[in-house]
Amino acid sequence: MPIVKDLSSYKNVWVFAEQRQGKIMPVSIELLGEGRKLATETGSELCAILLGYNTEDMAKELIAYGADKVYVADNALLENFTTDAYTKVISDAIYEVKPEIVLMGATHIGRDLAPRVAARVDTGLTADCTQLEIDPEDKKILQTRPAFGGNIMATIVCQGHRPQMSTVRPGVMSKAEMDESRKGEVIALDIKLAKEDVRTEVVEIVKEAKELVSLTDADVIVAGGKGLGKAEGFELLKQLADKMGGVVGASRATVDEGWIDHSHQVGQTGTTVKPTIYIACGISGAIQHIAGMQSSDIIIAINKNASAPIFDVADYGIVGDLYEVVPKLMEALDKGED
């Protein structure tokens, strides 16, 4: 006999506050921004669930970013993420408090954690959402994500189970605004966790010693595609990006060629970005690339081929050879021209 849940007993919007070494990840602030919108539309409270050790300052930060309540699990066993411990504590909390909506970032941690929690609490999960809305009629959450290789957008509804769970890619939603005068409630969760529940031990955290590019925080991205013709082409784009205080992005074709590291890749299987200015140089505009940059405020495309699909999403299009156009743009910036 299937268990029939009383859906009406599930209330409020929860955001999993992902922390790493005591720092709240930007995606959690973005989810608080989105969560506030959903909470307002469903007439409910916005809550964060925070797991870690010595969490007091982080809980205050979450309140400043809009959480009405912060459910805290503070324990040495939760200092660093482990799949076992986090799954158990969050699943127990969901069983006890019954949130209606649970949002997590589609980070490496969120992608590991969310499906396990969803299975544990017997509900569905929509992964990698790019848009969340509340159905005005029945107040269910409409979860939209690219499907079939990015060729269609699918909107998914969790009908008969609760909570409604989604993961959202970093950089897609707008960050919540900080207001340090905001007041909220910190609620300590009753943690039932023993050392034996955790089958892995974090011995050491070693940060990869490579040049890290933060595409999600960048205001300006100068991205290069196969039209660069060679790896050295990225040096020219780096010069333009430096002049504009930006960073270099890339299409997957250039990553596949080994011209640049995957951390620079924009798109469906790379990073989703939302800068003020996105300059696409020698990028054709495949749907999988566009899925990752179409929310940029201003898109400028430089391409030799006037019918390249990138021009369909561009606010400004320059038909020409990027090796002629980019140096001219830099000259104009040096002269301070508009």
Residue 267 sits in the site that holds ligand FAD (CB under 6 A): yes
Tell me the C-alpha to C-alpha distance, in Å, between residue 120 and each of 89, 104, 107, 185, 293.
Answer: 11, 16, 20, 27, 34
Among candidate residues 170, 154, 62, 163, the one with its CA nearest the CA of residue 109: 170
Residue 253 sits in the site that holds ligand FAD (CB under 6 A): yes
Least Å distance, CB 273 to ligand FAD, is 11
Least Å distance, CB 220 to ligand FAD, is 18
* HSE-up of residue 249 (Cα within 13 Å, Cβ side): 33
Residue 308 sits in the site that holds ligand FAD (CB under 6 A): yes
CB nearer to ligand FAD: pick between 88 and 289: 289
- Coil, strand or helix at 185: strand
Q: Which two tokens stand for residue 179?
A: 């207001």
Residue 226 sits in the site that holds ligand FAD (CB under 6 A): yes
Kindly tell me the burial class for residue 179, based on how many C-beta atoms sit within 10 Å of its own C-beta (0-12, 13-18, 19 or more): exposed
Residue 270 sits in the site that holds ligand FAD (CB under 6 A): yes
Which range touches ligand FAD (CB under 6 A), out of 1-9, 70-78, 103-111, 299-307? Answer: 299-307
Site for ligand FAD in 126-155 (CB under 6 A): 149
d(CA 259, CA 136): 47
Least Å distance, CB 285 to ligand FAD, is 7
Strand residues in 6-161 grouped as ranges (E): 13-17, 19-20, 23-24, 46-52, 69-74, 101-105, 125-129, 131-134, 141-147, 152-156
**321: how many CB neighbours lie within 10 A of its CB?**
13
CB nearer to ligand FAD: pick between 73 and 228: 228
Closest chain position to ligand FAD (CB): 267
Binding mask 309-328 for ligand FAD (x = CB under 6 A): ------------xxx-----
CB nearer to ligand FAD: pick between 76 and 147: 147
d(CA 291, CA 150): 7
Which range touches ligand FAD (CB under 6 A), out of 67-75, 80-88, 121-129, 300-308? Answer: 300-308
What are residue 44's phi and psi, to 5 degrees? Answer: -130, 180
Residue 305 sits in the site that holds ligand FAD (CB under 6 A): yes
- Contact residues toward ligand FAD (CB under 6 A) are 149, 225-227, 251-254, 265, 267-270, 282-284, 286, 288-289, 292, 302-305, 308, 321-323
